[in-house]
Amino acid sequence: MPDTVRRPMRHDTVSSASHRLRRCVDPADNEPMQTVLVVEDERDIRELLRRYLGRAGLAVIVAATGAEALLELEATQPDLVLLDLGLPDVDGVEILERAAPGIPVIVLTARAGVPDRIAGLRAGADDYVIKPFSPTEVILRVKAVLARRPCGGQPQARSFDHGRLRVDPVRHRACHDGVPLSLTPSEWNLLVTLTGTPGRVFSRHELVERIGGSLLDGYERGVDSHVKNLRHKLGPDGQHLIETVIGFGYRLGAQADD
């Protein structure tokens, strides 16, 4: 089979219950396998992605409709979601917005326009793959996004601006003035990146690599959308905490307390 997927005409319905996977263990090293939820209404694409992801050592859950996807998100905690935006029953953007904070989402879609990609990024997508696509490219993007997830080797919780901003990469928590922040995966990666080196200026190009995946048309401006959303969630201090360096990028404007 050629290493390129085009959207086929036929599709079927998959029972999410029959395909649900609990946290699997790799028998080779007795370590938990990372789980990917594939939300795709076209059977051929869905099964192809299942095979490629399985060969890459990942456990796979599949859903053929938006309703099934929402049930799976409630019943399981996948490490990543591959999401087709063009679902038959629920707009994929709605599912993207309802995914739990901390679960990265890679969008699969035939909507190739820059405004569509920006809309997906604003809704919280971590990466964007246009159909037709190479399954091998999808696997590489999945592994890149999973590699950016917080793990036990992350630094301990830190505070900034005299304790007003707190970020805990290990527990995947952040709060401002004592109020927990509800962040999309991309907003979380942006905050962790900026707070990891206070005062350092990050170019948009660097931030794309850290939070959004590969450089495609519109992605660097997508970073601006993530910054705008994060500033809004930080309230009146947003502009102070995330400073714009004109002509280059962004930096954290607060000093670390330690």
Domain ranges of the chain: 16-147, 158-252
Model confidence band, residue 14 (pLDDT cutoffs 50, 70, 90)? very low
What are residue 180's DSSP bridge partners? 175
Q: Among the CATH numbers 1.10.260.40, 1.10.490.10, 3.40.50.1860, 1.10.10.10, which is that of 158-252?
A: 1.10.10.10
Left, alpha or beta for 47 (phi > 0: left; psi -120 to 50: alpha)? alpha
Model confidence band, residue 90 (pLDDT cutoffs 50, 70, 90)? confident
Is pTM, for the whole model, over 0.85? no
Say whether pLDDT at 47 is over 70.
yes
Interval 228-239 mean pLDDT: 92
| 54-63, 104-113, 119-128, 164-173: segment of lowest average pLDDT | 119-128
Separation between Cα atoms, residue 205 and residue 219, nearest integer Å:
9
Cβ atoms 138, 211 nearer than 8 A: no
Model confidence band, residue 116 (pLDDT cutoffs 50, 70, 90)? low
Task: Tell me the two tokens of residue 258.
Answer: 């330690």
Give the rounded percent of residues in the chain with a pLDDT score beyond 70: 72
Say whether pLDDT at 7 is over 60.
no
**How would CATH label the architecture of 16-147?**
3-Layer(aba) Sandwich (3.40)
Chain mean position to CA 51: 22
